[in-house]
Chains A and B, each alone.
Chain A
């Protein structure tokens, strides 16, 4: 499966692709379309991507996640197109020998995806209006600000500003 797809996401397929008998932990993270945004009722959402760069960044993110956390498997697929409430927009599958690294790796992967991958959400509201959600600027035209810290590993490797309670 590509990293960017207009097809319905299939977490079971990604689980099969990453089967690994050396792993005792499997984490599946699915991001799903929520029916509200900043107090407004959302009816559906459209995702768009700049695919040439998004494919490469997601490929690199899989590899970096494995390297930073020492996890055996990491697969990430993001959907584009129009999605209904409750549909999965992103699936991340991580497998590792032990659960701690797998939990941490999956959280880091989704937090970092939100900062690095050229994908945009367009909310369609119940009142008939729509609006792109504001987001995170990609590193200022290639200055690589997003990852200026030296390579880290394990549980201290999350982005400085965790996005886990945001969008």
Chain B
């Protein structure tokens, strides 16, 4: 499954995106746990991120198929 990072998460992950090997469909919360284990630098950010697929923010309880990227959004600072 493709995972995309934005903002400070790109720095923490050291990349803009990655392919995560994980069974699908899978719950968002489970995907985040896997990510945190693979990239420890993301761990401290995970409690405050939001997740999106396309133009929808989705809850961590949601199952995602992996057909579209799971997008990780850190706290926002526009304006």
Contact partner, A138, options B8, B11, B62, B76, Cβ 8 Å: B76
> How far does the alpha carbon of A54 sit from the alpha carbon of B54 in the complex, in Å?
11
The verdict on B36 contacting chain A, using a C-beta distance below 8 Å, is: no
The verdict on A86 contacting chain B, using a C-beta distance below 8 Å, is: no
- Nearest-Cβ distance from residue B49 to partner chain A, whole angstroms: 7
The verdict on A99 contacting chain B, using a C-beta distance below 8 Å, is: no
The verdict on A55 contacting chain B, using a C-beta distance below 8 Å, is: yes
Report yes or no: B76 in contact with A114, Cβ–Cβ below 8 A: yes
Chain A residues with CB under 8 Å of B55's CB are 52-53, 55-56
> How far does the alpha carbon of A140 sit from the alpha carbon of B62 in the complex, in Å?
13
Contact partner, B77, options A121, A139, A142, A143, Cβ 8 Å: A121
The verdict on B71 contacting chain A, using a C-beta distance below 8 Å, is: yes
Report yes or no: B52 in contact with A50, Cβ–Cβ below 8 A: yes
Given known pairs A138-B73, A141-B60, the reply for A118 and B79 (CB within 8 Å) is no
- Nearest-Cβ distance from residue A102 to partner chain B, whole angstroms: 19
Given known pairs A137-B48, A142-B59, A143-B59, the reply for A49 and B75 (CB within 8 Å) is no
Residues of A within 8 A of B (CB): 31, 47-50, 52-56, 78, 89-90, 110, 113-122, 132-143, 167
